[in-house]
Amino acid sequence: MAAWPSGLPQLSLLEGAFESGQGVTVRSEVDVGPAKVRRRYTDEIVRFSVPLILTTAQVDILETFYSTTLDAIDVFDWVHPRTGAVVSFGFVSRPSYSPIGAGFWQTSIELEKQL
């Protein structure tokens, strides 16, 4: 399994980052009394939005990692933004880039924690 490239920031920016789970339960309303709740999935799908500031050279590293190393579908190991534990991630979509100054890019990557 691939690892996050050492030429890229090893931690994400905190501002603009988020983690969102889809939930693992389903609720059924009943005629009388509290709703019935049951487990729908054994594990939760968790998605992350990870903002990074990259140089133009680092954008090239990320593009090569995404397109060539992972072929856009493989998973890789990286540090969980909140817990600091190493976990496996996959890209949900292609990274996006916005210029923020000469040679610097605000980058957003959408990741999904792999089960």
Secondary element (H or E) of residue 36: strand 36-39
- pLDDT higher than threshold 80 for residue 2: yes
| CB contact burial 50-59 (16+ within 10 A = b; e otherwise) | bebebeeebb
Q: Cα 62 from chain centroid?
A: 14
3-state secondary structure of 58: helix
3-state secondary structure of 94: coil
Is 9 in contact with 54 (CB distance < 8 Å)? yes
pLDDT digits (tens, 9 = 90+) for 54-102: 999 999 999 999 999 999 899 999 998 888 899 999 999 999 999 999 9
> What pLDDT does residue 6 have?
94
Which domain covers residue 60, as residue numbers? 2-113
Q: For the chain, what is the domain count?
A: 1
Top mean pLDDT of 16-20, 30-34, 39-43, 73-77 is at: 73-77
Is 109 in contact with 91 (CB distance < 8 Å)? yes
- pLDDT higher than threshold 80 for residue 40: no
- What region does 84 belong to: left with phi over 0, alpha with psi -120 to 50, or beta? left
61 against 46, higher pLDDT: 61
> What pLDDT does residue 66 have?
96
Query: Computed from CA positions of residues 80, 65, 8, 104, in that sequence, does the dihedral angle turn out positive or negative?
Result: negative
pLDDT digits (tens, 9 = 90+) for 103-115: 999 999 999 998 7
CATH code, domain carrying 22: 2.40.30
> What pLDDT does residue 12 have?
79
- pLDDT higher than threshold 90 for residue 32: no
Tell me the one-letter amino acid at 30: V
